[in-house]
Amino acid sequence: MSALISPVVPRTAARRLGWVLSDAWVIARSNLIHLTRNPAGMASMLLFPIVMVVMFGYVFGSAMTVAGGGDYRAFLMPGMFAQTMAVGVTTTLVVVSTQATYGVTDRFRSMPVSQSGVVLGRALADMAGSALELAVLIGCGLVVGWGWHNGPLPALAAVGLLLLLRFSLIWVGIFVGLKLKPESAGASWMLMLPLTMIANTFASPAQMPGWLGALAEWNPLSATVAACRELFGNPGWSGGSWAAQHALALAIGWPLLITAVFLPLAARTYRRLDRV
């Protein structure tokens, strides 16, 4: 058997970029095939938010009052959207940690695959999965009486903010995933749930004890949720604190800050896999 191709390492920036994009697509595609081949996993991934909507919207919701007035389920949905984006980080974490542990990452690294391509592929696949979850949840929201009231453009901007939050968490997922074993990565889900609940997701921070309310106000998730409520025209977005008043700026600022911190950390950890 003879060698099929003579190896050529690309020298021009354009060819290198071509590699990055082609590698990213190949990796994203294989991850998307995973989604379609795992109907049970996909069903539970899509059903979980719906179950949460029913539980919080109807079981607890009947006993809830929205600070400032308004329908609880209309208040709840932006919280559910953002929570789903945030919990999505566990997908990144588990996949990254599993691939690093079971030699897949090593195979990538022993091949002439562009490292940016690997990461970009991971990001594309995760974003596609989360966008699908968000779409299902929006449909679910429309069924339970939620809707947008400020026109389509602010609504699209809100969707953009939600995806921006998810995007920033990809880097957290890669950074932490490279440091954890798959078993602990799986358990991170248990931690994410309370982190997404000490926020304005399900109740207004104004109704919480003072210290907890302050924590909830400054939770990056709260900024996205408050900004979405404002953009969708849903109840409960106004609040007295500085964080609540500047929700829109923070909903852009927090994800940018998270990306600015964790993207270099993730890249550095990946590059430094050759030192451990």
**Which residues are near other proteins by CB under 8 A?**
1-5, 7, 9, 19, 22-23, 26-27, 30, 33-34, 37-38, 102-104, 106-113, 273-276
Minimum CB–partner distance for residue 111 and other proteins (Å): 6
Cα 90 to Cα 73, 93, 104, 109, 262: the distances in Å are 26, 5, 19, 23, 15
Residue closer to other proteins by CB (options 179, 246) is: 179
Residue pointed to by tokens 């809100």: 158
Minimum CB–partner distance for residue 187 and other proteins (Å): 21
Residue closer to other proteins by CB (options 1, 14) is: 1
Minimum CB–partner distance for residue 42 and other proteins (Å): 12
Q: Which residues contact 177 (CB under 8 A, 6 or more apart)?
A: 92, 93, 94, 95, 96, 97, 100, 185
Minimum CB–partner distance for residue 190 and other proteins (Å): 25
The CB-side HSE value for 95 (13 A sphere, CA atoms) comes to 25
Residue closer to other proteins by CB (options 33, 212) is: 33
Residue closer to other proteins by CB (options 118, 155) is: 118
Residue closer to other proteins by CB (options 3, 190) is: 3
Q: Which residues contact 150 (CB under 8 A, 6 or more apart)?
A: 231, 232, 233
Residue closer to other proteins by CB (options 108, 232) is: 108
Structure tokens at 145: 């009486």
| Among candidate residues 105, 133, 139, the one with its CA nearest the CA of residue 272 | 105
Q: Which residues contact 201 (CB under 8 A, 6 or more apart)?
A: 79, 80, 82, 83, 221, 222, 225
Residue closer to other proteins by CB (options 106, 191) is: 106
Q: Which residues contact 123 (CB under 8 A, 6 or more apart)?
A: 167, 170
Minimum CB–partner distance for residue 123 and other proteins (Å): 17
Minimum CB–partner distance for residue 133 and other proteins (Å): 19
Minimum CB–partner distance for residue 114 and other proteins (Å): 9
Report the alpha-carbon distance of residue 7 to residue 19 in Å, rounded.
Answer: 14
Residues in the chain: 276
